[in-house]
Amino acid sequence: MEGFEVYGIDEIMAMLDWNNSSEVQKRGIELAENINNINVFLQPMNPGRNKNVWENCAKILAKKSDNILQPYLLHLLEWLEDINWPGAFIIIDRLKSFSGEALVDVFSHAVNLAKMDWYSEMWLDYLS
C-alpha–C-alpha distance, residues 55 and 59, integer Å = 6
Within 10 angstroms of residue 90's Cβ, the number of other Cβ atoms is 19
Number of domain units in the chain: 1
Q: Are 72 and 38 in contact (CB under 8 A)?
A: yes
Each of the 128 residues of the chain gets a pLDDT tens digit; together they read 445 567 889 999 999 999 999 999 999 999 999 888 899 999 999 887 899 999 999 999 999 999 999 999 999 999 999 999 999 999 999 999 998 888 999 999 999 888 887 667 888 888 87
Give residue 102's pLDDT: 86
Strand positions, DSSP E, the chain: none
Provide the residue range defining the domain that includes 83. Answer: 9-127
Say if 110 falls within a structural domain: yes
Other residues' Cβ atoms within 10 Å of the Cβ of residue 94: 20
pLDDT at 2: 46
Identify whether 104 is part of a domain.
Answer: yes
Rg (CA), the chain: 16
Q: How far apart (Å, rounded) are the C-alpha atoms in residues 98 and 101?
A: 8
Task: Note whether residue 3 is domain-resident.
Answer: no
pLDDT of 119 reads 60
Residue 1 resides in a domain: no
Is 98 domain-assigned?
A: yes
Query: What does the pLDDT read at residue 113?
Result: 87
Of 54, 53, 102, 52, residue with least CA distance to 78: 54
| Any domain includes 18 | yes
Does residue 4 belong to any structural domain of this protein?
A: no
Single out the residue of 70, 92, 79 nearest to residue 44, CA to CA: 79
